[in-house]
Structures are given as C-alpha cells and as structure tokens.
C-alpha cells in the first residue's frame, strides 16, 4: 500500500502539469496526432506497470501516469512542428514532416523504426501489425522555395539563408534529444563531389545548431549527396526538391539516428528513382523505335543497345580474366527489386503514392555504385558506428557467414556476409574470393581475393545484396543477389557481371550458406 501512496502524488503532479500544458485528449485528433498517439500508448504501458506494482488500483494510477508521459512526448513534437510550419510561412520554406515510431515490445521480431508521413493511411492489417509502436521522433525535410540556400560549390549558406537556418536552429535549442542533420543535393556534377559538399553543408548547419545552445555530443551530421533523390533530376523543379536539409530528432541513444539513416540507405524507392534518373540522361537515338519506359506496371526499363552502352562504364578486357560461361548482357534492368518486395516501415513519405508503388531498377553493371556518407559526430568529426551487435541482431544466415557458389568450374566465396535484420544494412564489406578451375583442394589459396563495396536494399520478401569489386584489375565487375530473409540457406536468385570481348557479360549466381 505504501508503494501505491507514493505513486499517487507523482501521477497528480505529472497530470496537472500536462493539463496546464494544454495536452488534453479533447484536442483535434487530426491536428494533434503525435499527442494523441503518445497519450494512448502511454496509457497502455502505464496501466501494465501499475497493475504489476499494485493490482487494479495501481493499474488506474499507472494508466494516468503513462498517459501523462506519453502525451508529453507527443506534445513536444507537435509544438515543434507547429513552430516549423509558422517559420515555413514567414520565410518561404518548404517543410515536410515524417513521423518516426518504434516498438515498445522488446520481443517484437519487427522491432525496428517505422517511418511514415503524417497523412499516410494504414490498412487494418498494418494497424494491427504496428499496434505496439510509439512515436519516438520526427524528421523535418526543408528546402527553399525562392532561393538557393548555398552558393554553387560552397559549404556556407548565403547571408539570407543563414538567418533562416539560425531561426530554424532556435526552434530546436531546448531539445533534449539527439539530432541528425543530413544534407542532400541534386544530381548535377560529380557524385563524389556532391557527397563531399553535402556533408560539409550538413556540418555547417549542425554548427549553427550548436551555436544555438545544443551540445556537440547530441549533434550528428551526414552527407547523402545525390544518393536519395525524392524527385526527378531532369528538371529544375525536381532538382530544387532534391536540394534539401533533413533534421531528424529521435529519443534514446544515438544508435536510433544510425538506425534511421540505415533504413533510408536501404530504401528501394531511392534506388528506383536513381535508376530512372540515369535512364533519363540517355538521349534516344533518332532511329530507335523503342521508348524508355522507366515506371511501367511491370517496372521494366527498356532501351536500345546503343543507349545502354552510353550508361555503362566502358569494358576494357578483351579476354576474360575468369570466364564464367555467361552470355552477353542485353537487358539493362533487373526484376530483383520486385522480388524482394517493399517494407512498409521504411516509409515513402516524400514520394507520391503512385511513384512509391512502381519500383524499377537497373542492374548493378549499369547502375554503378552509389556514393553516400556516414553518420558523423559533431563532437569528434568521426564516423559514428555501432559495434556491439549480437547474433540475434542479424538476419538468419547473415551474421558474418560465408556464402559460396561454383560457376562454370570456378569456386566463388563471399565472406563475411553480415546484415542487420532491423534495417537490412550490411555492416561489413565481404571479400570476393575466387578459385579458378576449382578441383576441391580446401587448403588451396584463392586465385583472386577481391575487396568490395556493398549495398543492400531491404524488402518484405528478400534482400537485394549488391557487391561492387573495387580492385583495379578484377575478373568481376559486380554481383546482384536476392538473399532470403527467412532461414533458407540458398539465395533466391542472382547474377554475376564480368568483362569479355570488351563488353559486359552476365552469368547466373545463386550462392549457398556454407
């Protein structure tokens, strides 16, 4: 009974403060979604704790306390959104908001961040699936509607834009959460230069936030460059939307910011948008009868051979260093993106509903590697990475394992294959080991031991695992594999791309877990 008595004044104090803050459930649900969601979830959690502490009476008090805490969290994000909307009107800024939620159930197998637009409707099935998710953060994506915020090639904002950014930082000055600031560019110019420039600009904005009073230890920045386009880069309107700054604020440890960034990197929608932009750079020849279809219902990308050649990095090898017995590549697209499906919790908040449902992709040989930066700490300037993953954090069969396949008599091993299940992010770049004309000698050293750059794209049916070899003289250009996300020990499908006769060839590649 003593525990209940001690619990009462806490509930009364918190609830009173809540009411004085106008956090009443009688407010409009439409205008105060974050608050209402926080109240509802907080009530449920508090009731469970109260019941554990003091039975039915404790359950009632616990529900009240939980509602107070939940309302407060939602209320903070709601008021910040209102302030940002007011700033957008006075300063001619375009601001879009994304809600970030996380499961409250530690045993939930889908325990990852849910990223969704505030106006994004959920099916009844999804409502049940995410019923235990609680709002833990908000992302605000900002672009200017009337001017360039940064001079061409400059990491410093214009004088007018700096004032706007300082007003923006002032809205966040009392924040107690960790904040990630990500810079995005359009696709004009060099991809590597765009990444470097976007990172410098993100760091500049983070510095303004620090000057507003936020400690460097809670500020992080990232340069995504042109790797995450939300609109076509073929016109000025689309380019303006792609030139943006994203401010992500999430409760909890900095690992939550890293998880958000990882989910964005593995979002298939960005891959599709990049593929469509790349196809659009090819000028159709006057003799072609075919058109470039970049967003059809079957998500195929079609073009002539001459158009395709313009998109591919020239092949230099006349004789294949390793002949994998494949065929000349004639199709620039791949259906692998459709095979992996789409993960609803990845969110398509900044895309139109029509576009988000049309996933198309070039294969890795035509698409080429993306250039995206790491999340970095403003306090240290160093990349922020998580190192404490355990076996349960990985996708089945991808916890630092070896996957192998024999192709035309040559043995190929990928190791280590390490992919986190929450975001589908590869946390290690595998070596691509090749044994030419393999005879089964297990102690034999590989003929080639190739370094790689790896990208992953996560769906609800599989994982697109994309490897680009980085060695100067490599017998493999890249590999696309659709990996299973259940406990299957064989890849769903895959292709390996290599050079022969100064062109690109492809061979089937379906590795198995060793």
Q: Nearest Cα to 342, choosing from 422, 273, 267, 395? A: 267
* Bridge partner residues of 412 (DSSP): 405, 434
Give 330-374 pLDDT, tens digit per residue. 888 888 877 887 765 555 445 444 344 455 689 999 999 999 999
What is the reported pLDDT for 480? Answer: 97
Mean of pLDDT over the chain: 80
Per-residue pLDDT, averaged over 315-332, amounts to 93
Classify residue 454 as exposed, middle or buried by CB count within 10 Å of its CB (0-12, 13-18, 19+): buried
The model's confidence at residue 71, banded by pLDDT at 50, 70 and 90, is low
Higher pLDDT, 125 or 15: 125
Per-residue pLDDT, averaged over 121-138, amounts to 81
What is the reported pLDDT for 106? Answer: 55
Mean pLDDT check: name the lowest of 99-113, 323-337, 443-457: 99-113
**Tally: H helices and E strands in the chain:** 12, 18
Classify residue 211 as exposed, middle or buried by CB count within 10 Å of its CB (0-12, 13-18, 19+): exposed
Quick check: 131 pLDDT over 60?
Answer: yes
Give 384-408 pLDDT, tens digit per residue. 988 889 999 999 999 999 999 999 9
The model's confidence at residue 109, banded by pLDDT at 50, 70 and 90, is very low
CA–CA dist 377, 253 (Å, integer): 13
For 15, 32, 134, 288, the CA distances from 29, given in Å and listed in that order, are 19, 5, 16, 55
Per-residue pLDDT, averaged over 229-255, amounts to 91
> Greatest CA separation found in the chain?
87
- Do residues 418 and 391 touch, judged by C-beta distance below 8 A? no
Phi, psi of 52 (to 5 degrees): -65, -40
Which strand ranges, in their side-by-side order, compose the sheet holding 327-328?
327-328, 503-508, 493-500, 478-483, 463-469, 452-458
The model's confidence at residue 442, banded by pLDDT at 50, 70 and 90, is low
Per-residue pLDDT, averaged over 46-50, amounts to 41
Quick check: 37 pLDDT over 60?
Answer: no
Quick check: 50 pLDDT over 80?
Answer: no
What is the reported pLDDT for 73? Answer: 58
Radius of gyration for the alpha carbons in the chain, expressed in angstroms and rounded: 25
- Do residues 335 and 462 touch, judged by C-beta distance below 8 A? no
What is the reported pLDDT for 145? Answer: 66
What is the reported pLDDT for 438? Answer: 93
| Helix orientation angle between 33-91 and 159-172, rounded to the nearest 10 degrees | 160
What is the reported pLDDT for 381? Answer: 96
Highest-confidence segment of 18-22, 69-73, 97-101, 502-506? 502-506
CA–CA dist 324, 376 (Å, integer): 41
Classify residue 106 as exposed, middle or buried by CB count within 10 Å of its CB (0-12, 13-18, 19+): exposed
Q: Nearest Cα to 324, choosing from 498, 511, 502? A: 498
Highest-confidence segment of 141-155, 274-288, 327-341, 347-361? 327-341
Mean pLDDT check: name the lowest of 4-8, 209-213, 299-303: 4-8
Give 421-434 pLDDT, tens digit per residue. 988 999 999 999 99
Quick check: 293 pLDDT over 60?
Answer: no
Give 83-101 pLDDT, tens digit per residue. 999 999 999 899 999 999 8
Classify residue 27 as exposed, middle or buried by CB count within 10 Å of its CB (0-12, 13-18, 19+): middle
What is the reported pLDDT for 75? Answer: 76
Quick check: 1 pLDDT over 50?
Answer: no
What is the reported pLDDT for 416? Answer: 97
Highest-confidence segment of 21-35, 156-170, 296-310? 156-170
């Amino acid at each position: 009974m003593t525990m209940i008595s001690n619990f009462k004044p806490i509930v009364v104090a918190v609830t009173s403060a809540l009411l004085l803050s106008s956090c009443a459930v009688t407010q409009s649900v439409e205008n105060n979604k974050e608050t209402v969601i926080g109240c509802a979830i907080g009530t449920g959690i508090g009731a469970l704790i109260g019941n554990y502490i003091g039975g039915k009476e404790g359950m009632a008090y616990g529900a009240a306390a939980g509602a107070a805490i939940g309302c407060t969290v939602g209320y903070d994000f709601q008021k910040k959104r209102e302030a940002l909307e007011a700033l957008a009107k006075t300063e001619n800024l375009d601001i879009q908001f994304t809600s970030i939620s996380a499961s409250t159930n530690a045993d939930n197998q889908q325990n990852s961040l849910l990223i969704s637009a505030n106006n994004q409707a959920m099916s009844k099935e999804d409502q049940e699936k995410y019923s235990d998710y609680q709002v833990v953060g908000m992302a605000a994506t900002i672009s200017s509607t009337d001017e360039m915020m940064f001079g061409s090639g400059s990491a410093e904002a214009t004088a007018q834009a700096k004032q706007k950014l300082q007003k923006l930082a002032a809205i966040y000055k009392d924040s107690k959460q960790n904040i990630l600031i990500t810079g995005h560019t359009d696709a004009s110019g060099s991809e590597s230069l765009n990444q470097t420039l976007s990172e410098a600009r993100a760091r500049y904005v983070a510095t303004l936030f620090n000057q507003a009073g936020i400690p460097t230890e809670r500020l992080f920045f990232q340069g995504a460059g042109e790797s995450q386009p939300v609109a076509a880069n073929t016109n000025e309107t689309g380019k303006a939307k792609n030139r943006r700054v994203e401010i992500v604020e999430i409760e909890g440890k900095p690992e939550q910011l890293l998880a958000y960034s990882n989910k964005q990197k593995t979002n298939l929608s960005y891959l599709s948008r990049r593929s469509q932009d790349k196809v659009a750079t090819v000028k159709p020849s006057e003799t072609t009868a075919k058109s470039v279809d970049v967003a059809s219902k079957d998500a195929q990308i079609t073009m002539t051979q001459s158009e395709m050649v313009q998109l591919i990095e020239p092949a230099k090898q006349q004789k294949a260093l390793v002949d994998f017995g494949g065929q000349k590549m004639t199709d620039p697209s791949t259906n692998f993106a459709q095979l992996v499906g789409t993960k609803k919790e990845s969110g398509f908040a900044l895309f139109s509903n029509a576009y988000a449902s049309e996933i198309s992709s070039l294969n890795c040989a035509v698409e080429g590697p993306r250039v995206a930066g790491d999340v970095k700490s403003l306090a240290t300037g160093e990349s922020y990475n998580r190192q404490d993953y355990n076996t349960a954090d990985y996708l089945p069969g991808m916890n630092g394992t070896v996957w192998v396949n024999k192709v035309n008599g040559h043995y190929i091993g990928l190791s280590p294959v390490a992919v986190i299940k929450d975001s589908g992010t590869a946390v290690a770049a595998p070596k691509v080991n090749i044994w030419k004309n393999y005879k089964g000698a297990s102690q034999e050293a590989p003929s080639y031991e190739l370094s790689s750059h790896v990208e992953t794209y996560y769906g609800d049916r599989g994982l697109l695992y994309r490897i680009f070899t980085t060695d100067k003289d490599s017998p493999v250009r890249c590999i696309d594999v659709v990996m299973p996300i259940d406990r299957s020990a064989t890849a769903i499908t895959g292709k390996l791309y290599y050079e022969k006769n100064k062109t690109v060839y492809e061979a089937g590649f379906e590795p198995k877990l060793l």
